[in-house]
Amino acid sequence: MSGAPEQNRKRRSFKLFLISTDLQVQDDLEGPILLSRGFICQEQDQGRTRKDALWVKVLDNGLMVKIEKKYLLEISADLVGLVEPVSDLDVRLNLLNNPDNLRQLASLPTNAPLWVLIGAQDELAEAELKYIGPLSGGSSALYFGVELKGTAVGRGTCNGSNKGVRYFSCPDACGLFVPVSHIRLRHWSSRNSIDAPEKTRDRSRRTNHGVNGHRSNNDRSNQPHLRRISFNHNRPKAQLQTQDMLSRTAESTPIAIHNNPRGSSSPPPFHIGQRVCVTVDGIVHGGEVQFCGALPGRSSTHVGVLLDAPAGNWDGLYKEHRLCHIPCHLYGVLLPVSSVFAEQTSPKPILKPALSPNPKQSPTSPAPAPRPPLVLPTKQALKPPLPPPKPTHKPLLTRPLPPPKPQNLTLVSASEHTNGSHSPLRPVDDEEENEEGVDDYGGTGLETELEVGSMVEVNDPPLFGVIRWIGHLGAVKELVAGIELEQELSAGTDGSYLGERHFRCPANKGLFVKLRNCRRDSRFPVPEKPVNQVERCNSIAFADWGSERVDEHTPPVDGDEAGQLYEGSKRGIQGHLNSCYLDATLFSLFSCCSSADWVLFWPSDAETNQSSKLAQDLLRCEIVNPLRRNGYVCASKTMALRRLLEAANSNAGFTNQEKDPEEFLNKLFQLLRVEPLLKIRSVTQQAQECHLYQLFPPTLPASPAPPVNSPIPMASPASMRVASVQSLLESSFLHGGLKFAEAPSCLLLLMPRFGKDFKMFDAILPTLSLDITDLLDDTLRQCSICQAVAEWECVQCYEDLDITPGHLKQYCQTCNTQVHSHRNRASHNPVKIAVPQGTWSGPLHHTRQRMSLFAVTCIETSHYVSFVKHGPQASDWLFFDSMADREGGENGFNIPQVRGCPEVGRYLGLSEEELSRVDASSLRESARRLLCDSYMCLYHSPELSLYK
Please name each of the domains of the chain with its CATH number: 16-75 (2.30.30), 98-185 (2.30.30.190), 274-342 (2.30.30.190), 454-520 (2.30.30.190), 780-847 (no CATH)
Q: Residue 877 — pLDDT band, cuts 50, 70, 90?
A: very high
- In DSSP terms, 31 is beta-bridged to 27
Q: Reduced to 3 states, what is the DSSP secondary structure of residue 80?
A: helix
The pLDDT score that the predictor gives to residue 104 is 87
Q: Residue 387 — pLDDT band, cuts 50, 70, 90?
A: very low
Within 13 Å and on the Cβ side, how many CA atoms surround 250? Answer: 12
Residue-by-residue DSSP string for 404-463: PPPTT-----S---TT-SS--PPPB--GGGSGGG--TT--TTGGGT--TT-EEEETTTTE
Average pLDDT (96-104) is 85
Closest CA to 587 of 566, 601, 573: 573
Q: Residues 660-680: pLDDT tens digits?
A: 999 999 999 999 999 998 989
The pLDDT score that the predictor gives to residue 369 is 41
Q: Residue 699 — pLDDT band, cuts 50, 70, 90?
A: low
The pLDDT score that the predictor gives to residue 652 is 73
| 717: preceding bond cis by omega (within 30 degrees) | yes
The pLDDT score that the predictor gives to residue 456 is 92
Residue-by-residue DSSP string for 839-851: ---S-------EE
Asked if 857 and 753 touch (Cβ cutoff 8 Å), the reply is no
The pLDDT score that the predictor gives to residue 28 is 65
For residue 715, pLDDT over 60 is answered with no
What residues have CB less than 8 Å from 925, skipping those under 6 apart?
none
Asked if 479 and 472 touch (Cβ cutoff 8 Å), the reply is yes
Asked if 935 and 864 touch (Cβ cutoff 8 Å), the reply is yes
- In DSSP terms, 867 is beta-bridged to 856, 879
CA separation (Å) from 426 to 411, 432, 468, 509, 515?
A: 8, 16, 17, 15, 13
Q: Reduced to 3 states, what is the DSSP secondary structure of residue 932?
A: helix
Closest CA to 699 of 656, 652, 739, 752: 752
**Angstrom distance (rounded) from CA 40 to CA 61:** 10
First-to-last alpha carbon distance for the chain, in angstroms, is 80
Catalytic residues: 580, 863
Instruction: Look at phi and psi of residue 653 and say left if phi exceeds 0, alpha if psi is from -120 to 50, else beta.
Output: left
For residue 203, pLDDT over 70 is answered with no
Higher-scoring residue by pLDDT: 311, 372: 311
The pLDDT score that the predictor gives to residue 919 is 82
**Angstrom distance (rounded) from CA 921 to CA 689:** 42
Higher-scoring residue by pLDDT: 422, 141: 141
The pLDDT score that the predictor gives to residue 267 is 63
The pLDDT score that the predictor gives to residue 151 is 75
**Angstrom distance (rounded) from CA 452 to CA 470:** 7
The alpha carbon of 205 is separated from its chain's Cα centroid by a whole number of angstroms, namely 36
User: What is the sign of the dihedral through the CA atoms of 615, 618, 621 and 625?
Assistant: negative
The pLDDT score that the predictor gives to residue 57 is 85
Q: Residues 308-355: pLDDT tens digits?
A: 887 888 888 887 788 888 877 788 899 888 888 887 543 333 333 333
For residue 936, pLDDT over 90 is answered with yes
Average pLDDT (501-510) is 90
CA separation (Å) from 704 to 622, 698, 717?
A: 52, 17, 8
CA Rg, the chain, in Å?
38
> pTM for this one?
0.49
Average pLDDT (631-635) is 94
Phi, psi of 78 (to 5 degrees): -75, -10
**Picking from 254-258, 343-347, 516-520, which range would have the lowest pLDDT averaged per residue?**
254-258
Q: Residue 894 — pLDDT band, cuts 50, 70, 90?
A: very high
What does the angle CA 264 – CA 270 – CA 276 come to, to the nearest 5 degrees?
150
Phi, psi of 143 (to 5 degrees): -115, 155
In the chain, % helix, strand, coil (3-state, to 5) comes to 20, 25, 55
Closest CA to 905 of 884, 881, 882, 924: 924
What DSSP state is assigned to residue 336? E
Closest CA to 897 of 505, 574, 471: 574
**Angstrom distance (rounded) from CA 465 to CA 432:** 20
Asked if 870 and 566 touch (Cβ cutoff 8 Å), the reply is yes
Higher-scoring residue by pLDDT: 566, 841: 566
The pLDDT score that the predictor gives to residue 881 is 96
**Angstrom distance (rounded) from CA 652 to CA 250:** 49
Find the helix packing angle between 89-96 and 99-106, rounded to 10°.
90
Average pLDDT (30-45) is 82
The pLDDT score that the predictor gives to residue 253 is 38
Q: Residues 556-603: pLDDT tens digits?
A: 999 999 999 999 999 999 999 899 999 999 999 999 999 999 999 998
Higher-scoring residue by pLDDT: 345, 139: 139
Q: Reduced to 3 states, what is the DSSP secondary structure of residue 248?
A: coil
Q: Which amino acid is at 837?
A: Q
What residues have CB less than 8 Å from 56, skipping those under 6 apart?
17, 41, 42, 43, 44, 64, 65, 66, 67, 72
Q: Residues 237-252: pLDDT tens digits?
A: 333 333 333 333 333 3
Q: Considering the chain, what is the average pLDDT of its residues?
A: 75
Q: Residue 389 — pLDDT band, cuts 50, 70, 90?
A: very low
- In DSSP terms, 26 is beta-bridged to 32
Burial 704-742 (b: 16+ CB within 10 A, else e): ebeeeeeebebeeebebebbbbbbbbbbbbbeeebbbbe
The pLDDT score that the predictor gives to residue 277 is 86
Q: Residue 95 — pLDDT band, cuts 50, 70, 90?
A: confident
**Picking from 349-353, 837-841, 936-940, which range would have the lowest pLDDT averaged per residue?**
349-353
